[in-house]
Amino acid sequence: MSDQGVTPRSEDYAGWYNEVIRRAKLVDYGPVKGTMVIRPYGYALWEHIKEGLDRRFKETGHENAYFPLFIPYSFIQKEAEHVEGFSPELALVTHAGGKELEEPLVVRPTSETIINHMYSKWIQSYRDLPVLINQWANVVRWELRTRPFLRTSEFLWQEGHTAHATPEEAQEETIRMLNVYADFAINDAAIPVVPGRKSNIEKFAGAVASYTIEAMMGDGKALQSGTSHFLGQNFAKAFDTKFLTTEGTHEYVWQTSWGVSTRMVGGVIMTHGDDKGLILPPKLAPDQAVIVPIWKSEEQKGSVLEMVAKVERALKDAGVRVKSDTSDQENPGWKFNEYEMRGVPLRIEIGPKDVEKDAVVFARRDRPGKEGKEFGIPSGDVGRIATEWLSDIQSSLLERATKFRDDNIVDVENMDTFRQVIAAGQWARTWWAGTDEQERKIKEDTGATVRCIPMDQPGGKGTCFSTGEEAEEVVLFAKAY
RNA sequence: CGGGGCGUAGCGCAGCCCGGUUAACGCGCCUGCUUUGGGAGCAGGAGAUCGCAGGUUCGAAUCCUGCCGCCCCGACCA
C-alpha cells in the first residue's frame, strides 16, 4: 500500500508535486532538459483553462490572431529594458537551410516586438484604434531552473496585445484584463488569487507598470498566475507605432499586454491537491465524474452495465462530463485510487446492490472516505444531483483555499516577526515605503519578494516595517515559485 | 554556475566498500484459471549490450581516469 501512495506533501512538497503530475499522467519530461510533454489528460485540463479564458476575452471584445515564432534579433534589441530583461534567456536560431543566417532569429520569448512591428503598419489613424488582439502560442525562455508547468523552457500561453489612443484607455484595459484573470482564477479554477500591482523591480521588462494575480500554493509559496502590463508608449516609440489624432497630430499609441500560461495548471495542482493526488475543480476537470461499475457474476455484470449506460446518458444529458470505466482489467478498489490520484471530482459507484434499489453511490473527491460518500442516490435524479454536487465541490474548493490563504497571511510590523513569518512559509502583509535597493536586500536576507501591492488597500497611512518611515501602501511579501 | 544526489529491464530499486556462478527483488507487461463494494490470488512466461569511452586484471555492474545526462536545493525568471 505504502509504495502505491504518494509522498506526503508535508514531507516533501516538491517530491509530492513531481510524483503527482507524472502519476496522474498530466505530463512527462521531454528529452531536452527543461522541456515537457503535456499528455492528453494534462492537455484536456489546459483546454478547459483556454476555453474559460478565451470566452472572457471574446466577451471583452478581443479577437484571436497568430504571429510568427521567429523574430529578427534586431527587434528584441529595440526596447532597452526589454532586451536587458530577456537577453539571458533567449534561444537563437543561427543556422537554417544548411547555412549560417545573416541575422540570427530569436525564438519568441514573448511577442511585443513583432506585434508592434505589425501594428505600426496597421495603425494609421485614431479610427484604427483600439486594436484588441490575443494570440494563443508557445514561447521559449531558456531558464536555469525548470519545473513542469511552473517553469519550462518552452511553454504554452496566451498573450493579449492592445493599442489605444489614450493612456487612460490603456490603463483601463490593463485593469480590465487583470480582473478577467482574477474572475477566471476564482470562479473557474477556484484559486483565491490576490490581484495587485508589481513592485518596480518585479515588473515586466519594458512595462511602465505590471499587475498580477498572486496565488498561494499548498506549501505557502506564492505563484504569479497571470500578469497584465501597462506598457505606456515604450514599445510604440521603439517601433514607431503612431496614429493620426482628430486634431491632425501624430501620436504614439498606448499599449497593454497580458498573459496566462500553462503555469496555471501547476497552480491548480498545488492549490487543491492532497496526499491522495490531484483534486480538480469541476469547471476545469477533464472528467467531472467517473462511473465505476462493480459486479461479481456475469449476470450481475449485465444488469450493472445496463444501469451504468443509463446513468451515463442521464449525466451527459445534464451536461456533465462523465466517463464510465467498464474495464475488467482492474478491480474497483484500484479504480477508486486511480481516479482519486487523477483528481476526478465525483465518483459514481454502481454495483448489484444499487441495481436492486435502482440507486447509485456518489463519492466526492474533496472529502475523503465516508464523509464524502452518499448511498442511495435515486437513479432518476442523478443528473440533477450530480450537477448540484459538482457546483458544491467547486465552491467548497474555493472556500477551503480561501481559508488556507487567509490563515497564512500574517500582518507584520517589524523585521523579527517578518523573518519568522517568512521562515514559516507564510505571507507577510506589511506597510512598505522601501526603495528598490531595500527590497533587494530583503530578498537577499530572507528569500522573500514583494509579490504584489494588492488592489484592495486598507487606506490611510502606516509605518513601514523595514524603514520605519511613513508608508502609504500595504504590500504582500512571500517566497515565490 | 555553486552545493547535494542519482544513472543497473517500461517504472522503482538491490548488488558496488571487499572484483569471481545464470545480475536479485517489487510493480508493470504477456498466457491461463480463479477473482471484483477501497490498490486481488495462483501457476507459467518475456524483458538488461549494468549512462558513454578508455584503462587495470585471467576475470569489471563492482577498482582507476575522462566524459555525458538527469533530479533536488540556491542565484535568474511566466
DSSP letter at A455?
A: S
A374 DSSP β-pair partners:
A362
DSSP letter at A151?
A: B
Mean pLDDT, consecutive 10-residue stretches, chain A (481 aa), reads 66 84 86 84 96 98 97 92 87 88 92 96 97 96 89 93 98 98 98 96 93 95 96 96 96 98 95 94 98 92 95 98 92 93 96 96 94 96 98 98 96 93 92 92 90 96 95 95 90
For chain A residues 167-186, those near strand B by a CB cutoff of 7 A are none
Start-to-end CA distance of chain A, whole Å, equals 32
Indicate yes or no: strand B within 7 A of the C-beta of A247.
Answer: no
Q: Which nucleotides of B are covered by protein (CB under 7 A)?
A: 1, 26, 29, 35-40, 69-78
Residue A214's nearest CA partner among A229, A230, A200, A197 is: A197
For chain A residues 281-300, those near strand B by a CB cutoff of 7 A are 294-296
List the domains of chain A with CATH numbers: 2-272 (3.30.930.10), 289-393 (3.40.50.800), 409-478 (3.30.110.30)
Indicate yes or no: strand B within 7 A of the C-beta of A145.
Answer: yes
For chain A residues 325-354, those near strand B by a CB cutoff of 7 A are 328-334, 336-338, 340-341, 349-354
Which residues 6+ apart lie within 8 Å of A387 measured at CB? Answer: A318, A319, A320
Nucleotide closest to A341 measured between CA and C1': B39
Indicate yes or no: strand B within 7 A of the C-beta of A1.
Answer: yes
d(CA A395, CA A219): 21
CB A185 within 8 A of CB A272: no
Nucleotide closest to A224 measured between CA and C1': B78
CA of A45 to C1' of B41 (A): 37
Nucleotide closest to A347 measured between CA and C1': B38
Record the cell numbers describing residue A130, joined without a space: 483600439
Q: What pLDDT score does A4 carry?
A: 66
d(CA A325, CA A304): 12
> From residue A128, how far is each of A63, A124, A252, A290, A324 by CA, in Å?
14, 7, 13, 50, 52
d(CA A241, CA A124): 9
Query: What is the ipTM metric for this complex?
Result: 0.85
Q: What pLDDT score does A313 carry?
A: 98
CB A153 within 8 A of CB A143: yes
Q: In a 10 Å sphere around its CB, with 0-12 CB exposed, 13-18 middle and 19+ buried, how is residue A337 labelled?
A: middle
Q: What pLDDT score does A1 carry?
A: 28
DSSP letter at A215?
A: E
Indicate yes or no: strand B within 7 A of the C-beta of A32.
Answer: yes
CA of A270 to C1' of B26 (A): 30
Record the cell numbers describing residue A172, joined without a space: 483601463
Nucleotide closest to A109 measured between CA and C1': B78
